[in-house]
Structures are given as C-alpha cells and as structure tokens.
Chains A and B, each alone.
Chain A
Amino acid sequence: MANDELIRDFFQKMKAEDQRIPIPEFPEVKAGGFNWWIPMGIAATLLLGGFFLIKQEPVAEPPADLIIISLQENENQEQQLIIEEKAYLDTWESTTSSLLTDF
C-alpha cells in the first residue's frame, strides 16, 4: 500500500482544497404526496353517474277507484244506466279466466 502513498497524498490535498467549496443547503424536496383530490373526484363522478343510471322507472299506480257505468235491462224490459263504484282490484279479471269457463 506504500505504493499508493503518492495517490493518497494527492487526494488528501484535494480534499483539503475542496473544504472551500460551498455546499448547497439540502434542498426542500416536496415528494409528490398522495393527491386525495383524484379519488374524491372519481367517487363523486361514480355517485353522480349512479344517481342518474339507477334512477328507477316510475311505477304506474292503479287508480284507487273505478266507476263502471253499464246499460242494463231491468225486470220491466227497460234500459237503465247502472253506475257502480268499485275498487280497482275488484274489477281485475285474469286474462285466462275464459279458459276456465269455456272449457
């Protein structure tokens, strides 16, 4: 290693000279932290999209009451108007009910 003395001495002097070099302050490095605005934006978009997409179709509600006006013959063979007020469900008739009666 005595062989390296010349080089070691050279670098020792170089280092001593480098002591004069001004070392810059450790820079304020702002590492890119997690940006919470991105997931918040995505969540808001999904919420809005969901609100419009999942918006339910309005269900047609049956009328509460039904007025049935029919023209019938009475026992005197006279035509007369009969006005009945019924609940919607009372008037519902199965579309296949004829099958039960006709056959």
Chain B
Amino acid sequence: MNMQHSKLENLLKSHHRDAFLWARQCCRFEDELAKDVLQQSYLKILEGKAKLQHPEKIKSWLFSIIRFTAIDELRKLGKTESLEENYDPIIPEEELEERSYEGIIQLLPLRQREVILAVFYHNLTIEEAAETLQITLGTARTHYDRGKKKLKELILKTETLKQHG
C-alpha cells in the first residue's frame, strides 16, 4: 500500500519526539549522532526506500528503521558493541553511585537494553519490540526477563549505595 507523501510526513511528525528519543537511545545517548540518524531515517522513508505496509504498526516500523540506521552509523564510527549476552562489565561502586538513569541503562547488555527501553520507556508490547528488533517473540521474551532482572539489581545496588553514601 502506497501512502500519500504528506500523510506519511504527518504520521512521522506525530511520532517525532519518540523517534528522536529512541534514536538517542540507539546512539548511546549522543544527541548529534541521534539527529543525523533520524534525518537519514526520514530520508529513507520519504524517498520510498522503506515502505510502510501496515500503518497501524508505524511505531515499531519507524523504530526499526531508526535502529538499523543507528547500527550502521555506529559501525562506520567504529563504535560497535558486544552482543555477548553474558557481557557484564564490572563497575566500581563509586562510579555506579554517580551514574544517571542513562548511565544505569547502558550497563545492560545491548539486546536487553533495547527490549527494556522499547517496552518500559516507549510502551511497546513485547511483540512490537520483537518486530522492531527483528527477533522472534521467544528471544524478545528472554531478553525482557533477563533485562528486567539485571536492571532491578542495578537499581537496587545504586539506591543502596546512595543511601549509604
């Protein structure tokens, strides 16, 4: 189904804020890189390189394009991230104490972080998160469960450190 250009542009405008925040999250919270990624994603869409088949799924479709564009850009910049599920960097306690929300989120392994952000921050369902990340529902559920567990640990640890700091 070909959507009219102006209608598509209006749909994109209505999701612009969410799209920018998602782009930022996919670009390790780098504002300038997120702006570039978002611009490129819009270009892909408006030039017809990416086609919206189901308008009701616009958010997961848009997020998917942004994510893949961000991965490409990060790869070009040599900023690839480990996909290792058990990747668990040891963070010194004093550093953890100073970490912002973004800093804590970044401690999650990449896939877990993406699923958790999609579901809890952007209110996507796990199914929509799976579509966005182009993974199976089962895999998305696994990342979701592990991500939640890991994030809870990190939040509790940070709070304990702040209380006793």
What residues of chain A have their CB less than 8 Å away from a CB belonging to chain B? 4, 6-8, 10-11, 13-15, 17-18, 21, 23-24, 26-27, 29, 31-32
What residues of chain B have their CB less than 8 Å away from a CB belonging to chain A? 5, 9, 12-13, 16-17, 20-21, 24, 31, 35, 38-39, 42-43, 46-48, 100-102, 104-105, 116, 120-121, 148, 151-152, 155-156
Task: Give 12 A-B contacts (CB < 8 Å), ordered by A residue.
Answer: A4-B148, A7-B116, A10-B151, A11-B121, A21-B24, A21-B31, A23-B16, A23-B17, A24-B20, A26-B13, A26-B16, A31-B47
Residues in B neighbouring A4, C-beta threshold 8 A: 120, 148
Check B120–A8 contact: CB distance below 8 A: yes
Partner of A7, one of B5, B13, B120: B120
Known A-B contacts A18-B21, A32-B47; A13 and B101 likewise in contact (beta carbons under 8 Å): yes
A24 and B41 CA atoms in complex are apart in Å by 14
Residues in A neighbouring B151, C-beta threshold 8 A: 7, 10
A31 and B8 CA atoms in complex are apart in Å by 12
Besides A17-B101, A32-B47, 18 new A-B residue pairs in contact (Cβ under 8 A), listed by A number: A6-B152, A7-B116, A7-B151, A10-B101, A10-B155, A11-B120, A17-B100, A18-B21, A21-B21, A23-B16, A23-B17, A26-B12, A26-B13, A27-B39, A27-B42, A31-B5, A31-B43, A31-B46
Residues in B neighbouring A6, C-beta threshold 8 A: 152, 155-156
Q: Which residue of B lies closest to A13 (CB)?
A: B101
A29 and B42 CA atoms in complex are apart in Å by 7
Within the complex, the shortest CB–CB distance from B124 to chain A, in Å, comes to: 13
